[in-house]
Structure 1
Amino acid sequence: MKTIMLFFSLTLLISFQSYSQLEFEGVIKSNFKTIQLDDGEIKYYNFNNKSQEIKLYNLDNSLWKTIHLSLDKNHFFEEILMVSQKTINPDENFEIVYTCLKYGIASIEENPESYENKIEFTLNIINESGQKILSVPNSQSFNLASSNGKNKLLIYKNIGRSFLDDNETLVYALPNKK
């Protein structure tokens, strides 16, 4: 009986060992960020400031797409918020929702000699060929919503400098998914 229990325990231990092994696939450098497409696929990307290009890679390290961003003067790329194929526009092109920022120095009105650092964000939507679809200054976040079968893009716009100011939510109709 001890032999049967020992044999059974050994078999069970070996079977757990064979299923629990992790397999190392590679390393993604810290200057790359990951993004999940609207179909659930995961990509990672890096922005080259000099060429103003975003390179998107598959998880197997193969290049998926290279997209040129034309940033406005004195604007810096911040991050990709979404890569979509059918959610924003039903054509075959991918759309990229990203933010950029601009640093500025504003004087305080009561004391013109003191200055305050100011960061201005802009939310942009372009297609994969670099064509600008939408640009919203003073915005850094958005949400996708669906109500009564209608899809909406909600963009949160910061009008003032404090939480007490009158901010806006811009509402855009999106095409229904096919």
Structure 2
Amino acid sequence: MRDYLKVTITLLFLLAPITGIAQPDYQGSFNYSGNYAKLEKEGYKFYLMDVAAEQCRIYNADLNLWKTVQLSIPNNRWLSDIQFLSQNLFDSDDGIEFLYVYYQYVQTSTSYYYVYTTCVADENGSILLEVPGGSWTEVKNIDNDGARLIIYVYDYSAFPYSVQTRIYRLPGQLMGIPENEVKSGFQEEATAVYPNPSNGTFNFRVPGMPQAEKAWAVVLDGSGKVILRQPVNQGDERVDLRSMGLPAGTYYLRLETSKLQTKFQKVVLVE
């Protein structure tokens, strides 16, 4: 009996610290991408991008719906990103504002390209800023002088692709997000690239990309300039940068189809 009690007490002693450790607590899930933002007056909110409904939906921290904003997107364009949810970043009132990006797919006789547009809208859906061609954006807080919105405008209709940088002074500052996360991209799908570094061939795995889907590899150099856009064989989960005539160095690789595009991945090509 004493041995039984001894074993029981020992087990309880060992289990006690484990049961006292905090564990991840499931809160809910959504069908579209979302993120948290800290608003100047309303505190933390969760917002998501509903592509099909062309909406930005904003939830309280407990995930109860707070506001729904209907976006102004022309026909045959598709929503690709929503970022920088705020109250006083883009104007001086206490309403909600945010930046969103949509794109158009343009088919040519031999290939295709995307046309992007960046907009800033308020909670009524009114457009505060519209930049045709804007596809990649950053916000930089400037000490005692508001913030700067940097929009990179790309023209993919010709090769080599051109890029223009536009800078806008904003009246407020972005709250609650480290500077290295204050970016907005037009990418939609994540991809895994391996091996990396490689002496030429990079394998990739893209969730949601059908094997029969025709794809293109888009390659940027270290400065962000598009230097190559080449078809990828159907069903082939490999990209051979060496066969494209590129020297050893650091590049950024993205894969595109008519329905999706991946995030840029940093890859290192070695001898």
> Does TM, scored on the shorter chain, surpass 0.5?
yes
Code of the residue aligned with 1:128 in structure 2: it is E
Are 1:132 and 2:133 an aligned pair? no
Code of the residue aligned with 2:134 in structure 1: it is S
Aligned counterparts, 1:74-93, within 5 A: 74-93=76-95
What is the alpha-carbon distance in structure 1 between the residues aligned to residue 101 and residue 16 of structure 2? 49
| Structure 2: segments with no counterpart, 5+ residues | 1-8, 174-271
Using the size of structure 2 for normalisation, the TM-score is 0.52
Which residue is 2:65 aligned to?
63
1:28-54 Cα offsets, whole Å, 9 max, x none, are 03x22222214473514241635x333
Which residue is 1:43 aligned to?
46
1:67-110 Cα offsets, whole Å, 9 max, x none, are 0112123211112122111222221011121111111123xxxx
Q: Which runs of structure 1 show a deviation greater than 6 angstroms over 4 or more consecutive aligned residues?
A: none
Aligned counterparts, 1:1-178, within 5 A: 11=13, 13-22=14-23, 24-29=25-30, 31-39=31-39, 41-47=44-50, 49-50=52-53, 52-106=54-108, 114-147=109-142, 149-150=144-145, 151-161=147-157, 164-177=160-173
What is the alpha-carbon distance in structure 2 between the residues aligned to residue 163 and residue 9 of structure 1? 69
1:103-128 Cα offsets, whole Å, 9 max, x none, are 1123xxxxxxx332121111111000
If each structure's strand is expressed as a fraction of its own residues, which one has the higher value?
A: 1
Distance 1:21 1:35, change over 3 A: closer
Code of the residue aligned with 1:157 in structure 2: it is V
| Structure 1: segments with no counterpart, 5+ residues | 1-6, 107-113
What is the alpha-carbon distance in structure 2 between the residues aligned to residue 42 and residue 103 of structure 1? 32
1:166 Cα offset (Å)? 4.0
1:142 Cα offset (Å)? 1.0
Distance 1:86 1:9, change over 3 A: farther
Query: Does the 8 Å CA contact 2:56/2:82 hold for their aligned counterparts?
Result: no
Which residue is 1:110 aligned to?
none
Distance 1:20 1:162, change over 3 A: farther
1:176 Cα offset (Å)? 4.3
Q: What percentage of aligned pairs have identical amino acids?
A: 23
Aligned-residue Cα RMSD (Å) equals 3.0
